[in-house]
């Protein structure tokens, strides 16, 4: 049995309060006594105050949760998510807080439980899919959180860090439109929950439930509407997951259609890279000159020569954590919009004249 604080107190012949003070409030006792206590603790093999008991008593835990509303193992394969985590890590590091990664089981009920049971003082919610239920749980627990997806119904005290998805998406799409492309496919992850890979028909972009995906698709559509191509003329492709494989599956057969798109705008770099994979797999003589764009500007994008929109990944994570750990006095400061930039590389070019 591990010795408790009580055991140390008994050994030294002082009260528990004094031992507690020796650890947590050194100024409350004489240096000599403190040394005596710490020595006795060492002797007894007392490992210091039990973190759980301390948390219960103090009312806070000293760690923040990071919630990926997707498989945790997936999150680590997403370069953008990893940079985000690095940012959160940097902030927690400075703050002396730990970060808890909470895996969400596939079943909805179990996932709720996971969020309910997480021992944290707040959450950074990194959303890749439906998240409302998670926010409900967090609110119910009375915990603060920072979201990275734009939400219409965000309360005034709800903190956010992100980008203007729609404007950013507009910028790449306008670039592609400017190159003359008119037959265009839009590719996104989770256009509709649980839709299969491939083409999808939606009466309008507002049917897309996930705010990030909605924002990006809307931005793409805006740019083409400006050049006279409207929603119904765009090919919408669903990728069941944000992975190169999912993207490749989504564009299967696409370029063998009668009038294939001359450009594919993807909702993320990972998806765009998957499209390039699919193109590269075709025999060299049969590669249509398709322009492809991504989103995020992850490290791999540069190597692949991908035209994309840059957003500061690490910064996003860092600010999310800081917003949580040091809530700004002014609630308006709890809403941070990060800059984005269009990065033009070799993956886009003029539309072929046809």
Partner DNA sequence: TTGAAAGCGCTACCAT
Partner DNA sequence: ATGGTAGCGCTTTCAA
List residues binding DNA (CB under 7 A): 2, 4-6, 13-18, 20-21, 23-25, 28-30, 33, 48-50, 53-54, 56-59
CB 254 within 8 A of CB 260: yes
The residue whose two tokens read 């998670």 is 134
Q: For residue 277, which phi and psi values (nearest 5 degrees)?
A: -60, -50
Relative to beta strand 341-343, strand 291-293 is: unpaired
Q: How many CB atoms lie within 10 A of CB 158?
A: 17
If one asks whether residue 56 binds a copy of itself (CB under 8 A), the answer comes out as yes
Radius of gyration of the chain (CA): 26
Nearer to DNA by C-beta: 37 or 186?
37
Contact call for residues 198 and 238 (beta carbons, < 8 A)? yes
Q: Cβ 134 to a copy of itself, closest distance in Å?
A: 13
Q: Of 51 and 289, which CB lies nearer to DNA in the complex structure?
A: 51
Q: How far is the CB of 120 from DNA (least distance, A)?
A: 15
Residue 108 site contact among DNA, a copy of itself, none (CB < 5 to 8 Å, cut-off depends on kind): none
Q: Which of 4, 33, 63, 182: binder of a copy of itself (CB under 8 A)?
A: 63
State yes or no: residue 47 binds a copy of itself (CB under 8 A): yes
Q: Which stretch binds a copy of itself (CB under 8 A): 88-96, 157-165, 171-179, 217-225?
A: 88-96
Q: Are the C-beta atoms of residues 321 and 126 closer than 8 Å to each other?
A: no
**16 or 345: CB nearest DNA:** 16
Hey, what are 64's tokens? Answer: 């923040």
Burial class (CB in 10 A: 0-12, 13-18, 19+), 57: exposed
| Partner whose binding site includes residue 303, from a copy of itself, DNA, none (CB under 5 to 8 Å by kind) | a copy of itself
- Look at the chain and count its residues: 354
User: C-beta of 114: minimal distance to a copy of itself in Å?
Assistant: 7
**Where does this chain touch a copy of itself (CB under 8 A) — which range of 44-52, 195-203, 245-253, 283-291?**
44-52
- Is residue 256 a contact point for a copy of itself (CB under 8 A)? no
**DSSP sequence for 90-133:** HHHHHHT-EEEEE---SSHHHHHHHHHH---S-EEEE-SS--HH
Binding site for a copy of itself (CB under 8 A): 2, 45, 47-56, 61-63, 71-73, 75-77, 82-83, 85-87, 89-90, 92-93, 96-103, 105, 110, 113-114, 116-119, 137, 140-142, 303
């Amino acid at each position: 049995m591990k010795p408790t604080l009580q055991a140390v107190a008994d050994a030294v012949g002082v009260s528990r309060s004094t031992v507690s003070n020796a650890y947590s409030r050194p100024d409350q006792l004489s240096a000599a006594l403190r040394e005596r206590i710490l020595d006795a603790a060492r002797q007894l093999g007392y490992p210091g105050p039990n973190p759980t008991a301390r948390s219960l008593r103090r009312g806070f835990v000293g760690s923040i949760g990071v919630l990926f509303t997707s498989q945790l193992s997936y999150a680590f394969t997403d370069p953008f998510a990893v940079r985000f985590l690095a940012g959160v890590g940097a902030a927690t590091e400075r703050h002396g807080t730990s970060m808890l990664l909470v895996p969400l089981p596939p079943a909805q009920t179990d996932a709720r439980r996971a969020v309910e049971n997480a021992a944290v003082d707040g959450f950074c919610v990194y959303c890749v899919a439906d998240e409302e239920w998670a926010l409900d749980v967090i609110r119910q627990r009375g915990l603060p959180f920072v979201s990275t997806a734009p939400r219409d119904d965000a309360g005034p005290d709800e903190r956010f860090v992100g980008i203007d998805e729609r404007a950013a998406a507009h910028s790449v799409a306008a670039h592609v439109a400017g190159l003359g492309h008119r037959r265009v496919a839009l590719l996104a992850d989770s256009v509709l929950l649980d839709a299969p890979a491939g083409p999808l028909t939606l009466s309008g972009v507002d049917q897309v439930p996930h705010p990030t995906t909605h924002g990006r698709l809307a931005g793409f559509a805006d740019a083409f509407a400006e050049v006279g191509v409207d929603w119904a003329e765009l090919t919408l492709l669903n990728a069941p997951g944000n992975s190169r494989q999912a993207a490749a599956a989504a564009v299967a057969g696409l370029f063998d259609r009668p009038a294939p798109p001359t450009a594919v705008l993807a909702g993320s770099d990972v998806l765009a890279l998957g499209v390039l994979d699919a193109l590269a797999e075709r025999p060299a003589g049969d590669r249509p000159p398709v322009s492809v764009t991504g989103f995020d500007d992850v490290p791999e994008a540069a190597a692949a020569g991908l035209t994309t929109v840059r957003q500061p990944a690490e910064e996003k994570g860092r600010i999310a954590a800081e917003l949580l750990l040091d809530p700004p006095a002014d609630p308006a400061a709890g809403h941070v919009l990060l800059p984005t930039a269009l990065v033009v590389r070799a993956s886009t070019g003029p539309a072929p004249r046809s």
